[in-house]
Chain A
């Protein structure tokens, strides 16, 4: 258990990348990018965890009760909103590509080359 969370985070990063490079559909590719991003949430929250401690909310427990790190939680919150916006922008590009070309297969779509 000591390092399982970190291994899971690394795995999510790599498996998301695998999805991206083998993708046959731009929207599928965007979703795989979201998987890569989820690796960072898992990593951040695992780093800030403390065994046996509670959530960093002192509404029903007195201040001073052992709590996990709230900083990584704040970072993860920011990260989630950022992820959603980037996904939406890429999606808009994909929708427009489809409108022009009628396909979303990256093998048939290219930016400039050579």
Chain B
């Protein structure tokens, strides 16, 4: 198809598509007029049933926890897929990684910048941890905290360099976090099955609403998700960073 032809066909198609979308959307209740019942039922009963205060976490880690299992595995699969797609193939002649030379990282950045970066990374890490563990109480949880933790490790890379990034997030450990995060979620479910409950049934004591240790399995699952997401994000960064090492070698060579 010529570029012009494609654009014309798209305009015609998109007009029809937009008309269909708007026709469908016009059938929705007006904005601000959510009618339930699903969300209202959960808003009304989750605090009493599960002793937690964050309803989104209640849904993600309890009512619809099985969705989240699938979602964790999407991340796990993507990380595995990245390792497959960005693998080093035999035809690419491998030299020793450039950053194995100890001096290189230090020379690029000023001390002040490094310290600032490190501090920022430290704070971000702390913040990430806080977000992870308070999922059932306040906004945040395993996804958000995990993503923040992952980004914090990337800050280490930006501030100091690849080697430091690998030091704070060793590959073996992150592989392990990624695998145990995803597998651990499945194991919690299998555990509830063995204990005679339904898959992922919340069977731990619920505790006092508002406490850090309350809501039964919710904080446990949430921690596992945090492990998976932070491990997964760091591994994703690592796969791409590994890629950037190569062209600079070629250029220098």
Beta-carbon contacts under 8 Å, A51-90 to B: 51-52, 55-59, 63-64, 67-74, 77-78, 80-82, 85-86, 88-89
Given the complex, which residues of A lie within 8 Å of B6, measured CB to CB? 21
Stretch at the interface among B40-48, B96-104, B167-175: B40-48
Q: Does B139 lie at the interface of the complex (its beta carbon under 8 Å from any beta carbon of A)?
A: yes
Query: Given the interface contacts A68-B34, A74-B59, does A58 sit within 8 Å of B82 by beta carbon?
Result: no
Given the complex, which residues of B lie within 8 Å of A85, measured CB to CB? 74-75, 77-78, 236
Bound complex: CA of A78 vs CA of B73, how far in Å?
11
Number of interface residues of A (CB under 8 A): 51
Query: Given the interface contacts A74-B64, A95-B240, does A81 sit within 8 Å of B74 by beta carbon?
Result: yes
Q: Does A49 lie at the interface of the complex (its beta carbon under 8 Å from any beta carbon of B)?
A: yes
Instruction: Point out the residue from A10, A67, A70, A81 that lies within 8 Å of B22, measured CB to CB.
Output: A10
Query: B-side binding surface: helix, strand, loop or mixed?
Result: helix
Bound complex: CA of A10 vs CA of B81, how far in Å?
32
Query: Given the interface contacts A10-B18, A13-B21, A78-B71, does A70 sit within 8 Å of B53 by beta carbon?
Result: no
Instruction: Point out the residue from A49, A80, A96 that lies within 8 Å of B31, measured CB to CB.
Output: A49
Given the complex, which residues of B lie within 8 Å of A47, measured CB to CB? 28, 34
Given the complex, which residues of A lie within 8 Å of B239, measured CB to CB? 92
- Write the B152-189 contact mask toward A (1 if CB under 8 angstroms, else 0): 00000000000000000000000000000000000000
B244 — nearest CB in chain A belongs to which residue?
A95
Q: Does B210 lie at the interface of the complex (its beta carbon under 8 Å from any beta carbon of A)?
A: yes
* A-B residue pairs, 6 tightest by C-beta: A69-B39, A51-B32, A85-B78, A70-B55, A56-B55, A74-B59
Chain A contact residues, CB within 8 Å of chain B: 1-7, 9-10, 13-14, 17-18, 21-22, 46-52, 55-59, 63-64, 67-74, 77-78, 80-82, 85-86, 88-89, 91-93, 95-96
